[in-house]
Amino acid sequence: MTRIIDGKAFAAQLRETIAAEVAGLAKKPGLAVVLVGEDPASKVYVANKARQTVEVGMVSFEHRLPAQTTQSELEALVARLNADPEVHGILVQLPLPKHLNAEQVIAAISPEKDVDGLTVVNAGRLVAGLEGLVPCTPLGCILLLESLIPDMTGLNAVVIGRSHLVGKPVAQMLLQKNCTVTVAHSKTRDLPGLCRTADILVAAVGRPEMVKGEWVKPGAVVIDVGINRVAGREPGKTKLVGDVDFAAAAPVAGAITPVPGGVGPMTIACLLRNTLTAFKRLENLHN
């Protein structure tokens, strides 16, 4: 019988573990989240981050800036947060308004406080197998996989998607787990055939229900990173679906993440984990 991977329950357990560790600290980790503009989805996400930060006993620093904020003003704020000893993690909520250069803003974040794992330094550390901060969603994927497969040595893993946010980092992390990894993308030949070779299939391409049931190797573990809003059954209603056709793939897979309730809840939990990791390193506390 297929196992439905409960990311919501796993994330709640992870937050409990983090809260227990934070409770024993003399100084509390601080997470600064910067939101520029009025993007509705970003506002909800930032509010959830702030709430969960406080719930685990950390200090939340929210910086809400108007949409007309200039590049120099935003980078000046990042510089102040880099220098603030009470701030251990910095996250600039993306997307930014179009007149701002996100790459320059991310590059301005201190790699030691880059809890989103997006700086070139942290990306390079991941590739080199060195200690660093890794992107939250890929970290969530790996933690879910580890809970199912403690030893992934020798397994075939196919990652659909080559973004800097998910595809590339999750592929590097699977390599570190001794998987044989193939990164597939829009130019890949015979994508269905390739997917059928995967013991672990990670879909992170951003196309609703692209991965069909016949693409899945029987018994494979399927991690669906996609969050796509599509039309619902009722007029004017929408629903969330993943990059995998869940109804068709679930009977074939050995285990699969649902959407919603799979990888999504892990992202903020892993942000908190990264903040705690950054805190320990900046405060010279040993794990």
**Residue 256's pLDDT is what?**
98
Tokens representing 226 are 């996609």
Q: Distance between CA atoms of 244 and 13, rounded to whole angstroms?
A: 26
Q: How buried is residue 51: exposed, middle or buried, by Cβ count under 10 Å (0-12/13-18/19+)?
A: exposed
Q: Choose which CATH entry (3.40.50.620, 1.20.1260.10, 3.30.830.10, 3.40.50.720) describes domain 136-264.
A: 3.40.50.720
Alpha carbon distances (Å) from 182 to 158, 186, 190, 229, 243: 5, 13, 13, 28, 18
119 has a pLDDT exceeding 60: yes
Strand order in 156-160's β-sheet?
3-4, 255-256, 221-224, 200-203, 156-160, 180-184
Question: Which sequence spans correspond to the domains of the chain?
Answer: 27-110, 136-264
Q: Any residues with CB less than 8 A from the CB of 232 and at least 6 apart, and which?
A: 238, 239
167 pLDDT tier (thresholds 50, 70, 90): very high
- Which residues are part of the catalytic machinery? 49, 93, 116
- Same topology for domains 27-110 and 136-264, yes or no? yes
Report the mean per-residue pLDDT for the chain: 95
pLDDT, tens digit, 9 for 90 and up, residues 176-226: 999 999 999 989 999 999 999 999 999 999 999 999 999 999 999 999 999
Give CATH for domain 27-110.
Answer: 3.40.50.10860
Q: 61 forms bridges with which residues in the sheet?
A: 32
User: Is the pLDDT reported for residue 286 higher than 80?
Assistant: no
pLDDT beyond 70 at 111? yes
Q: Look at residue 287 and tell me whether its pLDDT is greater than 60.
A: no
